[in-house]
Structure 1
Amino acid sequence: MATSTYTNRRILLASRPDGTPTTHNFRLEDGPAPEPSEGEVLLKILYLSLDPYMRWRMNAAKSYAKPVEVGDTMEGGTVAEVVRSRHPDFSEGDIVLSHSGWQKYAVSGGNGLRKLDPSQAPITTALGVLGMPGFTAYSGLLTIGQPKPGETVVVAAASGAVGSAVGQIARIKGARAVGIAGGADKCAFVRNELGFDAVIDHRTPDFAAQLASACPEGIDVYFENVGGRVWDAVFPLFNEFARIPVCGLIAQYNHGADGFPGPDRLPLVMRDILSKSLLVRGFIQREFVDQRPAFYREGSEWIASGSLRYREDVVDGIDNAPEAFIGLLDGRNFGKLIVRVATE
């Protein structure tokens, strides 16, 4: 394949983390961008999405998707511009959603690319509220959680890309939304900007008591993003027939194959699953791909009406992706975390 006049910069997985990732687990590499062959396009990456699931892909453990191999480009969703096209369905200048990973340029055969219309919504929303995180919230909450008017829906990481959408969609469906977030600023955003009915700071010493007070009639739906001590506070409050969509376990991702430290809670969990008829269902958003057209339509309408709001945390430069990602795992981001790789 011929080389390009464009210079690519990639962030590779240099080594597998032992616990919390550090910058030493990543390596920067420069080289020429490839030229597209017949039926391919060359993409210039404009924005890169950083998401918690990427931490699990850094491990070698068996999961729902193949791990990133040491020496390979870190994977991730991107918004890109077609800068060279040898594909009949794409023209130079097209803006597309792709899965090109942590780099400046990528070649694609067109499979999995989705054209975006910048006049309809900011293109960054394709990585957040109108992208995988928003669809994760939509499909997991409505398919598994099935909130009903008047019920109480609790969501962890409520200021993040997924959690913020979960609570707002719950309210659109007539349920009561209780968010859990970390820090005064995030809690104020969830309450005042997103319109949750209540929000609890999980960093407070009496977090469990505050959560119980905010859910006087118990919890009907809990959208799990965190695990750990947040789960411990939520668990006693489940009503009969409560539904628990399990989307993520960010508190446990850095503990490797041995899992989260602490006492074995499985007997208590199994007891309540039986005695309270709980539904606990893990899911990956791609299971519900047939719902995407409805999500794009309804999500766009909700954003236009102001009933679905969002916040983006934009970091400049592909070189800063590793530090930003490490901060994401520690909760330092505020909103959907995106790296601006190049200007539009």
Structure 2
Amino acid sequence: MPGKNIQVLMKQHPQGWVKEEDFEVVEREIPKPGPDQVLVRNIYLSLDPYMRGRMDPVRSYAAHLNPGDMMGGGTVGQVIESNVASLPVGTYVNGMLGWQAYATARADELRVLDPKIAPISTALGVLGMPGCTAHYGLMEIGQPKPGETVVVSAASGAVGSVVGQIAKMKGCRAVGIAGGKAKCDYVVNELGFDACIDYKASDFKERFKAATPDRVDVYFENVGGEVMEVVFARLNAFARIALCGIISQYNGQPYAFTGMRHLLVNRAKLQGFIISEHMSYWPGAIAEMAGWIKQGKLKYREDIADGLQNAPQAFIGLLSGKNFGKQLVRIGPETV
């Protein structure tokens, strides 16, 4: 087999904002699959905000990286060598195989994909972790009811875009928050939200108030910081908040949040969640969302960087909001 296995490692723990110098691209030998393993040629890599938290040497829901460790992450690839009868050569699979071109895995570490149902890249976005995160957080924690107002931050992203579209299908008013006119226009004109407010606008608070005349019943939080402060001030009694992420805080100093009183006076429920702890929920959610895509009810957008060596730069862009849609890295061609 020609070539080498390119991997991206965390060279050092970032100090504040992530820099390209915090990563190292190396070449290794392509691994050989063991008796119960397959060799996967990775095609797409998913870049996600949670990866930033694992680069810090702090206690969290998952073990942090140490210098020299390979960056972890979800991939979509194709089996090119197999010692597993149920995974013949040519099978497309999804797994947590990391920032590398080739990887070995067992069958129980992989999800088999059918490219006839949807493009294989969707297994890392709308029909994968981000989509399931949106579905679970909104439906299980948010529990939206027809006529209610659902607000989601990072509304043009892989998670937020799905949240708002499902909210509309459930008969709710969907209000997004995003950065810049282009993203807000996409959220309203393409995804069908009722409104989208640019958090970068000087009159953000006033615009958000006008867009939520009946205040906020469900808030899906992806950003944290000042945006969360503004939304909390508009909560209705017994509002539900799904705490998915706080991307604005991942690189800088903690935000001095002062809005806790709104939770108390409105008797609001706030629940953080990690979708990997709810794997039994995935099949039903994916099946439902695949149906919506086929019916044209659920739309998605991908932002694809080319080349594994460009993954660090794309990741840094993701953390600063430069991506438009689900951020992926194309490692190699879909067919060879």
TM-score (norm 2): 0.97
**Inter-partner Cα distance in structure 1 for 2:68 and 2:84:** 29
- Deviation track 1:250-281 (CA, whole Å, cap 9, x = no partner) reads 000013xxx5144x52xx40x33222110000
Q: CA RMSD in A?
A: 1.1
1:5 touches 1:33 (CA, 8 Å); kept in 2? no
2:44 touches 2:75 (CA, 8 Å); kept in 1? yes
Q: 1:116 corresponds to which letter in structure 2?
A: L
Secondary structure of the equivalent of 2:97? coil
Equivalent residue for 1:211, pick from 200, 203, 208? 208
Equivalent residue for 1:72, pick from 69, 73, 97? 69
State, as a whole percentage, how many aligned pairs show the same letter: 51
**Inter-partner Cα distance in structure 1 for 2:255 and 2:147:** 36
Q: Are residues 1:281 and 2:264 paired?
A: no
Post-superposition offset of 1:5: 4.7
2:23 touches 2:312 (CA, 8 Å); kept in 1? yes
Q: 2:173 corresponds to which letter in structure 1?
A: R
Q: Are residues 1:27 and 2:21 paired?
A: no
Aligned to 1:318: 308
Secondary structure of the equivalent of 2:68? coil
Equivalent residue for 2:177, pick from 173, 176, 180? 180
Post-superposition offset of 1:133: 0.2
Post-superposition offset of 1:6: 4.2
2:232 touches 2:263 (CA, 8 Å); kept in 1? no
TM-score (norm 1): 0.95
Aligned to 2:244: 247
Post-superposition offset of 1:110: 2.1
Q: Are residues 1:18 and 2:12 paired?
A: no
1:39 touches 1:88 (CA, 8 Å); kept in 2? no
**Inter-partner Cα distance in structure 2 for 1:320 and 1:5:** 22
**Inter-partner Cα distance in structure 2 for 1:53 and 1:234:** 22
Unaligned runs of at least 5 residues, structure 2: none
- Deviation track 1:21-54 (CA, whole Å, cap 9, x = no partner) reads 0000000100211111111111100000001110
**Residue correspondence of structure 1 range 215-234 to structure 2 within 5 A:** 215-234=212-231
Deviates more, 1:107-116 or 1:47-56: 107-116
**Residue correspondence of structure 1 range 1-344 to structure 2 within 5 A:** 5-255=2-252, 259-262=253-256, 265=258, 268-269=259-260, 271-344=261-334
Q: 1:343 corresponds to which letter in structure 2?
A: P
